[in-house]
Structure 1
Amino acid sequence: MIKAIVFDFDGVILDSERIMYLVMQKMFQRYQVNLPLSIWSQAIGTQHGFDSLGYLEEHANVKIDRDAFKEERDALFNQLVDEEEVLPGVKSVLNQAKSLGLKIGLATSSKGEWPRKHLSRLGLSDYFQSIKSWDDVQKVKPDPALYIKSLESLEVQPKEAIAIEDSFNGSLAAKRAGMYCIVVPNAVTKQMPFGHVDGSFKSLQDVSLEKIIRYFSPELRTKA
């Protein structure tokens, strides 16, 4: 029986991954270097998955002041992200989970201050009984540690929980933890391979959590 739902943050709750890619593209263009999505996607859903500045230095044949680059990148990124609202359907699924009595967690490869800041800004903090982040583990996604920590915190077994992800690295982490996983790919993750997940949706809008739970609960299907 499904007892919990665990959200990823970037790309699922907030459209931050698309914005970061746009910012990086803009900054790469100054050096007349293209940043293909197929290359950038290595960085999505994890930390240290892709040395973007090393890639830029190699293709522009220049030495980059990394601290200055990151400072400017983060300033541009934060300015844009601070104007973003929660992605469509997120509040609906959160309210459905609450009404169904599910425990709600969050597992993100970002540092903890990042999701907490935006969950507060978006008025979503009170929904979450557990938040596990980069600060809580030695290895982030695609390693399963974040999801294992979430399951322990919520006091549920892997097959009693559903992860909601948008990236290959994130969904792989959830499956490695033994959980069910549904994905909601976005503009920068839709080209990723998701053959290993349990379901895929274009958006969380109009998603019936009750139907998903029934699908993942054989005992309920038998009684139907």
Structure 2
Amino acid sequence: MSLKAIIFDFDGLIMDTETPWYYAFRDIYQEHGVELSLSLWSRNVGTNFDEFNPFHYLEEALQTPIDHDHIKELSEQKYAVYIGEAGLLPGVAELLASVKQRNLHLAVASSSTRDWVHSYLKKLGIFEAFDVIHTSEDVGRVKPDPELYQLTLARLGIDASEAIVFEDSPNGLKAAKAAGIRCIVVPNEVTRDLEFLNFDQRLASIAEFDLEAL
């Protein structure tokens, strides 16, 4: 079947929000005399805190309760500093324009919250580019479960073979493949050393992707 849609993850793919979050919590852990390894943090990349909860882990490491609200506020302050004036990752704007020129559908399927994804897409000026945007509130199970992608395909009215997914994490890759969709992985600083299996193509940047050749 012919290609009808491109489906994007959001965090770490359209915009690198993941590295600043890691840096924020890494700093907080260091201030408490605890190391937060990248391999440990990466367990929750592309999914939720079920696999690794940084608040609970810090309590376990310190063997004492912590003020969750204070740590959350502190992490948000540090995140804001690290994210700075970050914008679209390389190649994203060009790919969105190229997809629209070919009258293909564009969609976002993210394990993050609706407010988080919508606010950033609007801030980046690309909210209206997407025909479908699905987030954690739309499903019972987030990635690596395929439900987000299955819902997106149903909403677009297309078959899995008619779409391509762009993902930056193994959890996202697992979700896409479980839904039967071709997946191109574009790892970022947080995910590049993780194990990616069964992907269709791996790129260092979306700027490397050639839609015309596809």
TM-score, normalised via structure 1 length? 0.91
1:125 aligns with 2:121: no
Displacement of 1:194 in angstroms is 1.3
The root-mean-square deviation of aligned C-alpha atoms, in Å, is: 1.2
Q: 1:178 aligns with which of 169, 177, 180?
A: 180
CA distance in structure 1 between the aligned counterparts of 2:209 and 2:60, rounded to whole angstroms: 44
- Listed as ranges, the gaps of 5+ residues in structure 2 are none
- Which range moves more in the overlay, 12-21 or 54-63? 54-63
Q: CA deviation at 1:153?
A: 1.2
Aligned to 2:110: 108
What is the one-letter code of the residue matched to 1:14?
M
Task: Write the deviation string for residues 102-127 of structure 1: whole angstroms up to 9, x where unpaired.
Answer: 10000000011111111111111121
Distance 2:185 2:101 in 1: 22
User: 2: CA distance between counterparts of 1:94 and 1:43?
Assistant: 27
Matched to 2:167, the amino acid is: E
Tell whether 2:158 aligns with 1:159: no
Counterpart Cα distance in 2 of 1:195 and 1:205 = 22
SS at structure 1 position matched to 2:108? strand
Hey, what's the Cα distance between the residues in 2 that align with 1:174 and 1:159?
A: 11
The equivalent residue for 2:205 is 203
Deviating more after overlay: 136-145 vs 64-73: 64-73
Task: Say if 2:35 is the partner of 1:40.
Answer: no
Identical counterparts, % of pairs: 40
Q: Give the structure 2 partner of residue 51 of structure 1.
A: 53
Corresponding residue for residue 87 of structure 2: 85
Q: Could you give the per-residue CA deviations for residues 33-57 of structure 1, whole angstroms, max 9, x where no partner exists?
A: 0001111110100012212122212
1:82, CA displacement in angstroms? 5.6
SS at structure 2 position matched to 1:13: coil
SS at match of 1:34: coil
Find the aligned partners of 1:124 and 1:80 in 2 and give their Cα distance: 22
Pair 1:189-2:191 in alignment = yes
Following superposition, the deviation at residue 13 of structure 1 comes to: 0.5
The answer as to 2:9 corresponding to 1:12 is no
**Residue 89 of structure 1: how far off its partner (Å):** 0.5
The residue type paired with residue 44 of structure 2 is A
Task: Tell me what 1:30 maps to.
Answer: 31
Unaligned 5+ runs, structure 1:
213-224
CA distance in 1, matches of 2:84, 2:154: 32
1:138 pairs, out of 126, 137, 140, with: 140
Structure 1 CA distance for aligned equivalents of residues 159 and 212 of structure 2: 19
Distance 2:118 2:213 in 1: 30
Cα distance change on mapping 1:135 and 1:82 into 2, 3 Å: farther
Q: Deviations over 1:13-48 (max 9, x none)?
A: 111000100001011111110001111110100012
TM-score, normalised on structure 2? 0.95
Is 1:97 the counterpart of 2:99? The answer is yes
In the alignment, residue 96 of structure 1 is paired with which amino acid? S
Structure 1 position 61, deviation (Å): 2.6
Q: Kindly state the Cα deviation for residue 147 of structure 1 after the two structures are TM-superposed.
A: 0.5
Report the number of matched residues: 212
Question: Counterpart of 1:58 in structure 2: which amino acid?
Answer: E
Q: Which one of the candidate residues 59, 63, 66 is aligned to 2:65? A: 63
CA offset at residue 74 of structure 1? 2.1
Counterpart amino acid of residue 38 in structure 2: L
